[in-house]
Amino acid sequence: MSVSILGRLLGVTMGITAGALLLSGCGDGGGGSSASSGGNVIPIGEYASLTGKEATFGQSSHSGTLLAVEEINAAGGVLGKKLELKTEDTQSKAGEPATVVRKLITRDGVVAVLGEVASSRSLEAAPIAQQLKVPMISPSSTNPKVTEVGDFIFRVCFIDPFQGTVMANFAWNTLKVRKVAVLTDVKSDYSLGLAQFFVERFKQLGGQIVAEQSFSGGDKDFKAQLTAIKASGPDGLFVPAYYTDVGLIARQAKELGINFPLFGGDGWESPKLIEIGGEAIEGKFYSTHYSPEDPSQSVRDFVTRFKARFKGEVPDAMAALGYDSVMVLVDAIKRAGSAEPAKIRDALAQTKDFEGVTGKTTIDAQRNASKAAVIITVKNGQFAFVEKVNP
Ligand code: PHE
């Protein structure tokens, strides 16, 4: 599409200039551009932590998202139009999500927004999507508050009351720990929530919480907290945090002679966990959404296609959920028979038994999904599947 037509189209429908659009240029989907009501493409937005502290979250999620968009387009698109993916980087930083999501909606005219991985960043952007009445689907934010923001906010993953329960049961039944210490990142809604849900369930089982210590995401020295934890005499340590911090915590715990089990949630998942944690992360456990070792046909096919597209890389949970977030959106656009944001919202709310890579997605009255969790351990420097827990 020529710049002048583009400019006219956008100038009329969205009140912005083509120049602003050309400066933006981060779309991966190719093709022209259009506003939601007309044009030959359907613009969809994605915001992800492509750089910064949680870069592997955004990069994985983006790869899954991109693969899904490419597959949909190769098969002819949706409602006779190609999807056009516009991607923005949140840099793993507070302050960015709201800015970039506003940009995606008001400047690029996206009809739906996919993102983020980290709950705090989804929580920051969700009020913008809600206010501007454009549906947002978080692929993998698990804090319950995300979808409580409003009726335009959805997710395609389980939530942390479930994840906390899964890990408390695992600690009690499989690890057989009875006295647990918890180390929480006070800067992360995800960490605070998951800690709370774990503690509630662990106490219900009859377990004891002997220490509750905290840090701020990005800290480098955890010795004071770990020393206090060791002194409290636990037989296990729950760390609901993100991989960079967890890697350092595991190393420093080992240096302090801590040898009781460490375990956590999906925030651990990253190749960087093993890089940073090294020997110290061996034999530790975390829960997540999917395992590439799942023998089901749909997972095997997905892993094969993903590896072919991304130089042999094995898709992790964020990649699988990023992929499913696009597929759930496309299913809703098809059922709506329209790419108008409000109609997509209504169709998303009706999503039932949609078969994806991470299992069946049914959107409940709170706009959440309910799915199985898997438990993973680190064995010989590799992630290894331990068990699957159904909701
Ligand atoms: N569930 C995490 C959060 O809400 C994000 C995450 C999802 C991390 C999946 C890794 C894998 O912040």
- Give the tens place of pLDDT for each residue, 29-85: 433 444 444 689 999 999 999 999 999 999 999 999 999 999 999 999 999 999 999
124 and 252 in a single domain? The answer is: no
Average pLDDT, the chain: 92
Q: How far is the CA of 87 from the centre of ligand 1 (A)?
A: 19
- Total domains present in the chain: 2
What local confidence, expressed as pLDDT, does residue 39 receive? 81
Answer yes or no: is pLDDT of 13 > 80.
no
Model confidence at 199, in pLDDT bands (50, 70, 90)? very high
Domain endpoint, select from 224, 258, 288: 288
**361 in any annotated domain:** yes
Q: Which two tokens stand for residue 391?
A: 């909701």
Q: Which two tokens stand for residue 86?
A: 């516009």
36 and 92 in a single domain? The answer is: yes
**Atom of ligand 1 minimally distant from the CA of 321:** 9
Q: How far is the CA of 15 from the centre of ligand 1 (A)?
A: 36
CB 263 within 8 Å of CB 284: yes
| pLDDT higher at 176 or 36 | 176
Answer yes or no: is pLDDT of 210 > 90.
yes
222 and 243 in a single domain? The answer is: yes
Q: How far is the CA of 157 from the centre of ligand 1 (A)?
A: 9
136 and 225 in a single domain? The answer is: no
Distance separating alpha carbons of residues 163 and 169, to the nearest angstrom: 10
What local confidence, expressed as pLDDT, does residue 30 receive? 39
Pocket residue to mutate for ligand 1, from 53, 116, 138, 142, most atoms within 8 A of Cβ: 142
213-261 per-position pLDDT tens digit:
999 999 999 999 999 999 999 999 999 999 999 999 999 999 999 999 9
Q: How far is the CA of 23 from the centre of ligand 1 (A)?
A: 31
What local confidence, expressed as pLDDT, does residue 57 receive? 98
Answer yes or no: is pLDDT of 88 > 80.
yes
Q: Which two tokens stand for residue 256?
A: 């302090």
Of 18, 67, 124, give the one whose Cα is nearest residue 305.
67
**Atom of ligand 1 minimally distant from the CA of 140:** 7
User: Which residues lie closer than 8 Å to 236 by C-beta, 6 or more apart?
Assistant: 171, 175, 177, 179, 180, 181, 260, 261, 262, 263
Indicate the angle between helix axes 297-309 and 55-74, nearest 10 degrees.
100
Q: How far is the CA of 288 from the centre of ligand 1 (A)?
A: 8
Distance separating alpha carbons of residues 378 and 249, to the nearest angstrom: 15
Pocket residue to mutate for ligand 1, from 53, 56, 57, 149, most atoms within 8 A of Cβ: 57
132 and 166 in a single domain? The answer is: no
Neighbour tally for 246: CB within 10 Å:
28
153 and 178 in a single domain? The answer is: no
Q: Where are the beta strands (DSSP E) in 108-231?
A: 113-114, 136-138, 153-155, 179-185, 208-215
**281 in any annotated domain:** yes
CB 314 within 8 Å of CB 291: no
203 and 143 in a single domain? The answer is: no
**50 in any annotated domain:** yes
Neighbour tally for 339: CB within 10 Å:
24
Which range has the worst mean pLDDT, 21-35, 211-225, 267-281? 21-35
State the DSSP string of 30-89. -S----TTSSSEEEEEEEE--SSTTHHHHHHHHHHHHHHHHHHHHTT-BTTBEEEEEEEE
251 and 152 in a single domain? The answer is: no
Q: How far is the CA of 191 from the centre of ligand 1 (A)?
A: 10
**Atom of ligand 1 minimally distant from the CA of 120:** 12
Model confidence at 9, in pLDDT bands (50, 70, 90)? very low
CATH, residue 201? 3.40.50.2300
**382 in any annotated domain:** no
**388 in any annotated domain:** no
**357 in any annotated domain:** yes
Domain endpoint, select from 254, 288, 322: 288
What local confidence, expressed as pLDDT, does residue 10 receive? 39
What local confidence, expressed as pLDDT, does residue 25 receive? 39
> What residue numbers bound the domain in which 230 lies?
160-288
Distance separating alpha carbons of residues 160 and 20, to the nearest angstrom: 40
User: Which residues lie closer than 8 Å to 262 by C-beta, 6 or more apart?
Assistant: 236, 237, 239, 249, 250, 253, 284, 285
**383 in any annotated domain:** no
What local confidence, expressed as pLDDT, does residue 38 receive? 61
Distance separating alpha carbons of residues 282 and 347, to the nearest angstrom: 44
153 and 172 in a single domain? The answer is: no
* Pocket of ligand 1 from Cβ distances under 6 Å: 57, 117-119, 140-143, 190, 266-267, 269, 288-289, 317-318
Would you call the peptide bond into 116 cis, given omega within 30 degrees of 0 as the criterion? yes
264 and 118 in a single domain? The answer is: no
Answer yes or no: is pLDDT of 14 > 90.
no
Domain endpoint, select from 246, 273, 288: 288
| pLDDT higher at 156 or 27 | 156
123 and 38 in a single domain? The answer is: yes
What local confidence, expressed as pLDDT, does residue 144 receive? 98
**303 in any annotated domain:** yes
42 and 141 in a single domain? The answer is: yes
